[in-house]
Structure 1
Amino acid sequence: MGRGDIKTKKGKIFSKSFGKVRSAKTRKNTAAKAAATAPKG
């Protein structure tokens, strides 16, 4: 259990992977944020 273990959070961070344990940021929030910051007009 450590950096080499892909089933753990630490292993996922080391392998630059997103999975069940280490979920990525949701796309829904980033899309809403981009729409809010875009200039209207």
Structure 2
Amino acid sequence: MEEDEEEGREEEVVEDKEHEKVEEEEEEEEEEEEDEEDKEEEEVEEEEEVEEEEDEEDKEEEEVEEE
């Protein structure tokens, strides 16, 4: 009887450890995905800034040409 109980407890511990490991891996994956999304957003923002700067430069050039 005691052996059965002990084995049951050991199995629970193993299952708990496996469950924790799976949760940690899922959290890591989520963090990596969020990091990737943040990186992509930053790149898009940088591109938009560059486009805005280029538009402003083009406007200034046009104004200079008109004068």
Tell me the TM-score normalised to structure 2 length: 0.27
Tell me the TM-score normalised to structure 1 length: 0.35
Question: Relative CO higher for 1 or 2, CA cutoff 8 Å, sep ≥ 6?
Answer: 1
Greater C-alpha Rg: 2
More helix by share: 2
